[in-house]
Amino acid sequence: MIEYGQFCPIAKASEVLGERWTNLVVRELGAGSETFNDLRRGLPLMSPSLLSARLKFLEAAGVVERSDSGKRIRYTLTEAGRELKPILLALGTWGQRWAPTRFEPKDLDPSMLMWDIHRSMKADYFGQHHTVLLFEFEDYTSKHRRWWLIVERGEVDVCMRDPGYDVDLHILTDVKSLTAIWLGQITFAQAIRRKLLKMAGDSQLKKDIHLWLGTNYFSSVKSVNPVRI
């Protein structure tokens, strides 16, 4: 644990939250992740051993509650943890406005992007229709190239293997462009016009992509140093 040797409340808060990854674990829990594997999907570069250590630390600090139903272990935020939400949102707003975004390969992560998108998609748009969306990243050749989002009864599932259903809409793009759209750095219309995003399939889904895909929470915050795509 970091210790600053100061009574200042900011120092005390930093002793709890200042370690690497800690804020992002709280972010994931605040966004609705509850199981160890959900958290891993939202934090793909964090090792499981470190995630386990951080969860134990946050539990001891009174930020996270661990409950074991016998079937599976759930992690949820305590009242202290929930009170961090506006603080993290303020931190994110500051980051979107002031922190330089370079979109270098090390900052781009298709798994984190798809996990984030699947969580914020407007599932209500699809009603009771079973809908299959295939996202294909032209800049990836590995197992991370194709991602299926399956919408069913208000739930969205993300899949890295072909689930075997007919695809309603095929979206061909690259990770950098979709990240830029997701963060509000460029609009769908601009991306389509510049052929950074191409679609094949259901014409209504194509037309309404800006309605159902959603955007990152901070996308409306204007950056002082926007990136050039």
Partner DNA sequence: GGGACTCGAGCATCCTATCG
Partner DNA sequence: CGATAGGATGCTCGAGTCCC
Report the interhelical angle of 110-120 vs 175-182 (nearest 10°). 40
Footprint of DNA on 49-88 (CB under 7 A):
49-50, 52-53, 55-56, 66, 70-75
- Which of 63, 36, 62, 57 is CA-nearest to residue 47? 36
Which one of 30-38, 170-178, 179-187, 209-217 is the stretch in contact with DNA (CB under 7 A)? 30-38
Give the type of residue at 100. Answer: P
The H or E element containing residue 59 is helix 48-60
Exposed, middle or buried by CB within 10 Å (0-12, 13-18, 19+), for 90? exposed
- The answer to whether the beta carbons of residues 105 and 45 sit under 8 Å apart is no
For DNA, the closer CB: 20 or 228:
20
Please state the closest distance from residue 117 (CB atom) to DNA, in A. Answer: 20
Q: For residue 149, what are its two tokens? A: 């989002």
The H or E element containing residue 39 is helix 36-42
Q: Is 41 among the residues that bind DNA (CB under 7 A)? A: no
Q: How many chain residues bind DNA (CB under 7 A)?
A: 25
For DNA, the closer CB: 64 or 117:
64
Answer for which of 11, 14, 21, 201 binds DNA (CB under 7 A) is 21
Which one of 18-26, 116-124, 181-189, 208-216 is the stretch in contact with DNA (CB under 7 A)? 18-26
Dihedral of CA atoms 99, 122, 119, 75 in degrees, nearest 10, equals: 120
3-state helix, strand, coil in the chain (%, to 5): 40, 15, 40
For DNA, the closer CB: 49 or 204:
49
Q: Is 47 among the residues that bind DNA (CB under 7 A)? A: yes
For DNA, the closer CB: 55 or 196:
55
For DNA, the closer CB: 12 or 72:
72
For DNA, the closer CB: 74 or 82:
74
Q: Is 163 among the residues that bind DNA (CB under 7 A)? A: no
Interface residues with DNA (CB under 7 A) are 1, 19-21, 35-38, 45-50, 52-53, 55-56, 66, 70-75
